[in-house]
Structure 1
Amino acid sequence: MADVYARLEELGLRIPPVVPPVAAYVPAVQTGNHVYVSGQLPLVDGKLPATGLVGADVTPEQAKDLARQAAINVLAAVESLVGLDRVVKIVKIVGFVASAPGFTGQPGVVNGASELFGEVFGEAGKHARSAVGVSALPLDTPVEIEAIVEIA
């Protein structure tokens, strides 16, 4: 992997401190050559930029930006545990989208996270994924992103 820190700088991205858990879990766990990242919310400086259901309270475009922020928080969890320079591959992500009745644009929302991983890691950022609509998420967040990451 090329220097991920240089790539982050080129993109103008700052990896924040890892978001503290909001319940009884840890942000990420390493087992073997994989890091499993708990669902990350799009918190910025400890606050959610928006709350509510996508397709009612939050537009799909806003939600896509929130998914991008949640993906940045995934990177923060990996950085805090093992360092981003050890990432070999983003293996899989799961995006949860708090969806208004009838909203079916979950894949477009989760693209915010998928595109971020591609920008940062290039080919190694391409991954398997699921985009799941749910009725509610913790703290009334519109999106949550979890990941499985292969490391060296």
Structure 2
Amino acid sequence: MTPQERLTALGLVLPEVAAPLASYVPAIRTGDYVYTSGQLPMVEGKLMTTGKVGDEVSAEDAHSLARICALNALAAVASVAGGLPNVVRVIKVVGFVASAPGFTGQPGVVNGASELLGEVFGDAGIHARSAVGVAVLPLDAPVEIEMIVEVR
């Protein structure tokens, strides 16, 4: 199956690329690589929820939000790579989790993004990763995901 067919089988559709919130672009291609800016859990231009994970937002909900972030990142990648079929492999994912004091489940939250990439790209979706707890994210988002992918 192609990545697009896998998305369809999952009941997902690539969204419109989220408009930048400041002075940057959602993704940029240089040579055989695409780097995305951090992607928030936006759906149809609206942030799905706000707050800190481990306080106002549960780890399970944040896991689902990380999937949305990854889907938004894939839309940004596709927009500069000529579509998902041109993705060779996912190289690196960085996940930022706005964390309540004492919350240490950042890796489980960012798994939401990593699992989606594996479902869409199979072995080519296996990647290096960092999961970082932070005090606050833009718009008080609970999760932000960025990635680097190799393209043809």
TM-score band, normalised by shorter chain: over 0.9
2:75 & 2:118 partners in 1: Cα distance? 16
Residue in structure 1 matched with residue 147 of structure 2 by the alignment: 147
What is the deviation of 1:60?
0.2
What is the deviation of 1:115?
0.2
Superimposed CA distance per residue, residues 39-98 of structure 1 (whole angstroms, 9 cap, x where no aligned partner): 000101111111000000100000000000000000110111111110000000000000
Residue in structure 2 matched with residue 86 of structure 1 by the alignment: 86
Code of the aligned partner of 1:114? S
1:90 & 1:17 partners in 2: Cα distance? 20
Code of the aligned partner of 1:28? A
- Pairing 1:77–2:76 present: yes
What does 1:1-152 correspond to in 2, within 5 Å?
2-82=1-81, 83-152=83-152
Corresponding residue SS for 2:110: helix
1:118 & 1:4 partners in 2: Cα distance? 10
Code of the aligned partner of 2:136? A
Code of the aligned partner of 1:50? T
TM-score w.r.t. length of structure 2? 0.97
What is the deviation of 1:11?
1.4
Corresponding residue SS for 2:129: strand
What is the deviation of 1:12?
1.2
What is the deviation of 1:138?
0.1
Q: How many residues align?
A: 151
Code of the aligned partner of 1:68? R
Structure 1: runs of 5 or more not aligned: none
**Identity percentage of aligned residues:** 65
What is the deviation of 1:10?
1.4
Superimposed CA distance per residue, residues 90-115 of structure 1 (whole angstroms, 9 cap, x where no aligned partner): 00000000000000000000000000
TM-score w.r.t. length of structure 1? 0.97
Code of the aligned partner of 1:111? N
